Amino acid sequence: MTTTHSLINQLIQLQELVVANMQKKVSMPNARLEELGKSISSLGADLPQAVKSHFNRLIQKHPEAIVPVANELCSGCGMGLTKSMVQAVHKAESLNRCPNCARFLYYPEQLVAAERKSRAYGEARKTGISRFTSPELMMVPLKGTTAEEVLAEMCGRMASEGFVEDADHLLDLALQREAIISTAVDNGLAFPHVRGVEGGGLSMAVGIHKKGVKFGGPGRTLTRIFFFVVIPTATSAFYLRLISGLSKTFREKEVSDALLACTSEEELWKALIKATKKTFK
């Protein structure tokens, strides 16, 4: 059992590195990614050959090659799984694959996301960036002085507004993701996130730190603008397009300066809508 659990964790970490590589390519087109490539090769080097080959085939088709089981469904393709299959995934005595999409399966310890409260019956259909965030998830100013404190603030807000159920668990997952490779990019931006979280829609909190904090990004640049995203498996492919759009939008100094100048959450919401109006229809 220990061997299978270790293999599952290794595949999840490898997947995060591959997706991080994709993210860096869309958010930092001119970045040198040799070290990230070496880390991917190193982590995958000792995988069983059959597992490595299947993983590589899957990752060429989808951003997700290993996905959690959610409500007795494969969260990658949505196919219902038999009770015996769910039990086998839970026991983790061997590596299991979805009989429909062939993705590797694992059983999450805890589901984090709640149904987005913005999906209330009778609510008008949202457009643009408001499909993924809301005025309640604007945060200015962030007060933390470390990366962990900033992430804790943002996780706390997502929980208090009903977008996730457990702020502490979400923070643990976010820190685990940052430990693999920083989500900070150029221009003082960072895109911390937790993927593979089932139960609701893609949700994003936006935070402004006036002074900036060290977030492990390129050089000594301080991070001042944070886009924290909770991503269900089914929306992983769109997440990369979301990051690409936000990166292109806020690469322009005058556009990012408009967010940094905001002194209230209401101002931040209006500035975000205005800045992304052309990027997200």
Evaluate if residue 117 carries a pLDDT over 50.
no
Q: How confident is the model at residue 118 (pLDDT cuts 50, 70, 90)?
A: very low
Look at residue 220 in the predicted model and tell me its pLDDT: 66
Residue (of 5, 26, 36) closest to 180 by Cα position: 36
Rounded CA gap, 170 and 152, in Å?
9
Q: What pairs with residue 228 in β-bridges?
A: 205
- The answer to whether the CB of 4 falls within 8 A of the CB of 90 is no
Look at residue 219 in the predicted model and tell me its pLDDT: 67
Look at residue 125 in the predicted model and tell me its pLDDT: 57
Evaluate if residue 5 carries a pLDDT over 90.
no
pLDDT tens for 179-236 read 888 899 888 999 999 987 766 778 999 999 999 999 986 566 899 999 999 988 777 7
- The domains of the chain, with CATH numbers, are 2-106 (1.10.287.1490), 128-275 (3.40.930.10)
Cβ neighbours of residue 59 closer than 8 Å, sequence gap 6 or more = 15, 18, 65
Evaluate if residue 254 carries a pLDDT over 50.
yes
Element (H, E) at 276: none
pLDDT tens for 58-76 read 999 888 899 989 889 998 8
